[in-house]
Amino acid sequence: MGLDEIRNRVAAAETAASRPAGSVTLIAVSKVQPTDRVEAVLSAGHRVFGENRVQEAEGRWTAYRAEMPDLALHLIGPLQTNKARQAMAFFDAIHSVDRPKLARTLARIADETGACPDLFVQVNTGAEPQKAGALPDAAGELVAECRTLSLPVIGLMCIPPFDDDPLPHFRMLRQLAERNGLEGLSMGMSSDFEAAIAEGATHVRVGSAIFGAREPV
């Protein structure tokens, strides 16, 4: 199991960046992983997990939720407006607020229920046509719209293009966050979380380096 190693590497990256121990939240991305691997990570005391899909997350986590009050579940995949209510009721944080329509839907439901998970605005730093996220030029506007709607936006999130050096993307996200007065930075995955921590990541999303390779779906 890779959890101990990844915990140590996160701690070393915090130290190397002169950042306080524990300033980075390690999100163990459990999507598509077999139950025995997830239970091994739970047994080691880890409680923060990321999932890509609302339905899959509910199926896996509903029973654990009842026994583990300290469990924190993050939605890191795209969110359709017709799943927004379900996602808001289930997750502690949503990292994929990527368009005004979704923001307005979240705000309407938050007004109704009086509750809303922590939110990250997703930025398509590579301007990839197939990828979700606000374009860098539009990110400030989306953050402002979320604030007007009284949504609890705590940071920005990005998924750099697969073949690019991630560093310029991490830097861009950090600059956009600073410009918009946001502290949270959800960036860095199995292959690049140390670089992301050096650039200020507050939340790293690590799947295969903790659990092992995912089965293709």
Ligand X SMILES: *Cc1c(COP(=O)(O)O)cnc(C)c1O
Measured from the CB atom, the residue of 200 and 207 that comes closer to ligand X is 207
Q: Using CB under 6 A, which residues numbered 153 to 182 contact ligand X?
A: 159
Interaction of residue 190 with ligand X, rule CB under 6 A: yes
**Distance between CA 109 and CA 68 in Å, rounded?**
26
Stretch that binds ligand X, among 9-17, 33-41, 124-132, 205-213 (CB under 6 A): 205-213
Cα angle vertex 92, ends 4, 60, to 5°?
A: 65
Cα angle vertex 86, ends 181, 131, to 5°?
A: 55
Interaction of residue 208 with ligand X, rule CB under 6 A: yes
Stretch that binds ligand X, among 37-45, 111-119, 163-171, 206-214 (CB under 6 A): 206-214
Stretch that binds ligand X, among 84-92, 104-112, 128-136, 199-207 (CB under 6 A): 199-207
Considering only 11, 19, 47, 52, the residue that binds ligand X (CB under 6 A) is: 52
Interaction of residue 204 with ligand X, rule CB under 6 A: no
Buried b (16+ CB within 10 A) or exposed e, 109-130: bbeeeeebbbbbbbbbbbeeee
Measured from the CB atom, the residue of 81 and 190 that comes closer to ligand X is 190
As given in the structure block, the two tokens for residue 49 are 């997990």
CB of 91 to ligand X, least distance (A): 14
Considering only 26, 76, 121, 176, the residue that binds ligand X (CB under 6 A) is: 76
Judged by phi (left if over 0) then psi (alpha if -120 to 50, else beta), residue 158 lies in: beta
Amino acid at 172: M
Are the C-beta atoms of 155 and 185 separated by less than 8 Å? Answer: yes
CB of 81 to ligand X, least distance (A): 19
Radius of gyration of the CA atoms of the chain, in A: 17
What residue ranges bind ligand X (CB under 6 A)? Answer: 29, 31, 52, 76-77, 159, 189-190, 205-209
